[in-house]
Amino acid sequence: MPEPNPPLRLSAQRALLGAIGPGVLGISVALEGGRLAFDGFVAADATEEEREALDLAASEMLADFPEVKGLDLDISEAPDATLPDRGGEWVFLRLGTGVGR
């Protein structure tokens, strides 16, 4: 489990406010090696608007950290209610969704 990063969590909270639609299952974020990793997991029926909202949220988070040099954005469809753990901090996890290894 990563070391808690309160500024990262607060940035995610601000950026994701109003951006999580019903098709979004989970979001994990991390600051690693001068880069922001943003992993969003969506249901197969997630809309393009929901995916774009996550993309925008990741960009807003990047703007909060001027020392960070890049963004690793991954928005993936989850085949079921168990999401892969990629090592970041979970900032959103929909009820009924779990995290596997």
pLDDT tens per residue, range 38-80:
999 999 999 999 999 999 999 999 999 999 999 999 999 998 8
Instruction: List the chain domain ranges.
Output: 6-93
Query: Distance of CA 51 to CAs 28, 33, 40, 66, 68, Å?
Result: 15, 25, 9, 24, 23
This prediction's pTM: 0.93
Query: How many percent of the chain have pLDDT more than 90?
Result: 87
Q: What is the pLDDT of residue 1?
A: 60
Look at residue 27 and tell me whether its pLDDT is greater than 90.
yes
CATH superfamily of 6-93: ANL, C-terminal domain (3.30.300.30)
User: Kindly report the CA angle at 38 between 36 and 41, in degrees rounded to 5?
Assistant: 170
| Confidence (pLDDT) at 3 | 80
Q: What's the average model confidence in pLDDT over 26-47?
A: 96
